[in-house]
Chain A
């Protein structure tokens, strides 16, 4: 059974600080996705990483993928309050067809 583990699950940051969220997974997938969810809202796609070494950046967020280590990171640079949300990584589960299997999410709270 594919397992996707994120850490930390909760993260309280000060504005202006940097931090990294980690996503480990147990399959040999080379496709990984990051989503953002605001409280009570839908999931918004942030990044699609499709190969080993892929790196994507959008504003203060940068995601990378190391398929050999089965690890993806989401790096936050100079956090601002608007980044407060829950961030999920998701991996395609070959055994269950093509469904995305999600980690438990990292709830980020940025305060001044």
Chain B
């Protein structure tokens, strides 16, 4: 158990809908990272927050957004969902504002029908 908590574990929804994935980092960690894992794209970095501020952006679609709240939990919002958004979404945390080992949650598996 890494100490990173993600909810929900599984989510099934329809195209065009919007969903929110939630992540609580390990106690004391200030950075949260979101990754998307799919069979064809592998593990893709989406976005990083540190202590409430966006720090780095990867291959995140405009339909996706994220935020980190004062209690350090983070939410990833996915809207206008398409079939291709079906994937496993991981949250990871670290104590640092840059670099270092990441600790991953169990993931949220999103299925878009």
Contact = CB atoms under 8 A, between A and B. Distances in A.
Interface string A70-112: 0000000000000000001000110011111111110000000
B8 interface: no
Nearest to A31: B99
Interface in B21-78: 31, 33, 35, 42-43, 45, 48, 55-58
Contacts of A92: 99
Interface residues of B, number: 26
Given A96-B58, A99-B33, A99-B45, A42 B104 contact: yes
What band does the interface of chain A fall in when counting residues whose beta carbon is under 8 Å from B?
20 to 34
A42 B99 contact: no
Interface in B55-113: 55-58, 90, 92, 96-107
Nearest to A92: B99
Interface of A: 31, 33, 35, 41-45, 48, 88, 92-93, 96-105
